[in-house]
Structure 1
């Protein structure tokens, strides 16, 4: 919610007026000097929107403030062009409205278009989110990273490396929305107070690594590529089983961690709907972007969301740190998922990250069944994995 600075206004005053932590207000307004706001400048108040309201017989700002359980000065702040003592009936004013319900609806086919729409809305309401484009897909779609928080500890989460596992994006975006609501409404999540997390941890989220592939599964092939993609899909026009990117490369078999082993043993030797690791490691723009992000940030922990199996993998060649085993025990306890240290599969993002940085990294296999998992599993998957998300950002040994 945008407001205009008046004489004497401060971030601290806005914090008290709207019951929003001052750190969130400061981070929502990086171009402003917290020590001295300029009169007439525009400032963002996170966690609020403006709702239009038409004055009725008997209305006063004081009565409206009482009904909304807000200070009358909040109304005066967002309606600086009116005389509070003489408001005519049928005059339209704005009422500051606290956002208390989610923007994200995870229970839908979550395409890149839906993601873009939700991101725009979330950034508007929660401007302390830092949104970056870390690269582009084969078809030029932006690969978004969101950062929330400003702590020295760094936790990364990503989803939809595989096209027909797009429900992982729905799950991750739902967690993000719940985290944002918790911060601006001072509500714990499963007993976890999130403001200390925000202050101590930077959470990095790449919600859709493979937007071209996700859109192919959900919407079908673009007209200009239809014949080419049907040929890659073994002559079928049913793309629900497609895992790869739009060029037929499996993005989670693309990283230089025993890539040669995977290349040799995979049956697919040319582009295909799944399992082709490419002609060389990091040949695809999506995997290049993810590798560069990891090198730049050197996250303390990494979670890569996949489906299915109700299990997670956390080891690579004995290079995983001792902390990873402790985290794995906690993940298993809060989710009911099976903890598996080593699995005979390589060249994944988690494998490469452990090899490169010797830090904790996990591949989470959410839910159980045949991909793409049905949305009827959404509530169960979210319930099971929410504890993992919270442990990842909150528990430091």
Structure 2
């Protein structure tokens, strides 16, 4: 038995499999004549193999919010899975469906993590950890998507962390959000995270995460373009007429956001030799011409961070210097982060205009570009677990006293 499913905007094979509780192999076997590569198209029909329905029995005093929290499932998705009863008062003994109600940790580790997933995730952590997780929008992308900042901790020392500056490095976003949830859980429970004291870290350091700097670019890499995308013609041209976007690093205007900062920008532009929009390496018409780069710039100016970490992929390396502007403690910190993660601390030359470069030059404070994992971007989800241990170690270390 199977059911007919019509593809919606934002669907990918992995996202459909996750919501429907099936494997990718089962989806492909049920649709042997359907082309699902490189991207699914809205309106396309797929057969979904039948799977066992997961159910939850309502207990006394349950609410949608408490069930969502207990099961670690987004309240929004839980209600969508029970559309016929979501407006009714829950009754003890009532059965509600858990189909399509996926845990945020599953979204992060088992399917493409894009701006819509981040939007749901942000709402989830806000509701689940009131008073611990504080969220604000620090700006909008070219296409009007919110660029979220998440603050945790109350300490006087301030650390900034960002991810998905490059579109095809979106795995950094899901890894950072997994840390946000795990850190919040330990703060809420008061328990130690292994040997690490979350409460002590929170009292010492405030941390600001910007998990997805480039939401438009991430969406493009994961979903491609259709006839309804307002930038389709230009984007395909900039991508050398290729309709696959695995190699795309830029924002939706074809500007590399990590070449956008006022740190020897002109020299970087000449070194790159790219003078028009492209999938990568185009520095734009001027520093901070793109709203996503401006959002990071303004946040750093406002908060006066003590340290900054920008997560990229790949290579398992930590870049810690910039033209000798870095303070003496930068190398010490780099070696600390390398020791706990197994990454290599690298003194880098021949690169300018990145966020880390500007932060070091402007503030004379430690900043790091951290290249997670090994492989070809986007890194495979099969690496999520092992990379998370490394990212977790780096972030825990960065929150400790100097």
TM-score, normalised via structure 1 length: 0.74
Q: Any stretches of 5+ residues in structure 1 without a counterpart?
A: 1-50, 56-67, 69-89, 94-100
Greater C-alpha radius of gyration: 1
**Matched-pair contact (CA < 8 Å) for 1:102–1:178:** no
Deviation at 1:323, TM superposition (A): 1.9
What does residue 166 of structure 1 align with?
170
Distance of 1:347 and 1:144 partners within structure 2: 23
Distance of 1:382 and 1:360 partners within structure 2: 23
Correspondent of 1:184 among 171, 177, 188: 188
Pairwise mapping of residues 15-94 of structure 1 onto structure 2 (< 5 A)?
A: 52-54=58-60, 92=92
Cα gap change, 1:121/1:260 in structure 2, threshold over 3 Å: closer, same or farther?
same
Pairwise mapping of residues 150-299 of structure 1 onto structure 2 (< 5 A)?
A: 150-221=154-225, 223=228, 224-299=230-305
Deviation at 1:343, TM superposition (A): 2.6
Deviation at 1:199, TM superposition (A): 1.8
Pairwise mapping of residues 235-384 of structure 1 onto structure 2 (< 5 A)?
A: 235-384=241-390
**Matched-pair contact (CA < 8 Å) for 1:157–1:303:** yes
Cα gap change, 1:254/1:91 in structure 2, threshold over 3 Å: closer, same or farther?
closer
1:104 aligns with 2:105: yes
Pairwise mapping of residues 94-133 of structure 1 onto structure 2 (< 5 A)?
A: 103-105=104-106, 106-107=108-109, 108-128=111-131, 129-133=133-137
Deviation at 1:161, TM superposition (A): 0.1
TM-score, normalised via structure 2 length: 0.73
What does residue 153 of structure 2 align with?
149
Distance of 2:58 and 2:326 partners within structure 1: 54
Deviation at 1:92, TM superposition (A): 4.0
Cα gap change, 1:103/1:110 in structure 2, threshold over 3 Å: closer, same or farther?
closer
Distance of 2:360 and 2:103 partners within structure 1: 34
Give the secondary-structure state (helix, strand or coil) at the position aligned to 1:269. coil
**Matched-pair contact (CA < 8 Å) for 1:310–1:367:** yes
Deviation at 1:269, TM superposition (A): 1.0
Deviation at 1:102, TM superposition (A): 7.3
Distance of 1:375 and 1:248 partners within structure 2: 26
**Matched-pair contact (CA < 8 Å) for 1:313–1:343:** no
Give the secondary-structure state (helix, strand or coil) at the position aligned to 1:353. helix
Paired residues, what number? 307
Distance of 1:217 and 1:330 partners within structure 2: 34
Deviation at 1:390, TM superposition (A): 0.7
Q: CA RMSD in A?
A: 2.1
Distance of 1:188 and 1:54 partners within structure 2: 31
What does residue 395 of structure 2 align with?
389
Q: Any stretches of 5+ residues in structure 2 without a counterpart?
A: 1-56, 62-69, 71-89, 94-101
Deviation at 1:256, TM superposition (A): 0.7
- Which shifted more, 265-274 or 203-212? 265-274
Give the secondary-structure state (helix, strand or coil) at the position aligned to 1:104. helix
Deviation at 1:54, TM superposition (A): 4.6
Deviation at 1:183, TM superposition (A): 1.0
**Matched-pair contact (CA < 8 Å) for 2:217–2:248:** yes
Deviation at 1:52, TM superposition (A): 4.6
Cα gap change, 1:330/1:350 in structure 2, threshold over 3 Å: closer, same or farther?
same
1:137 aligns with 2:141: yes
Could you report, residue by residue, the CA deviation over 1:352-383 in whole angstroms, capped at 9, with x for unpaired residues?
00011011100000001111111111111111
Give the secondary-structure state (helix, strand or coil) at the position aligned to 1:144. strand
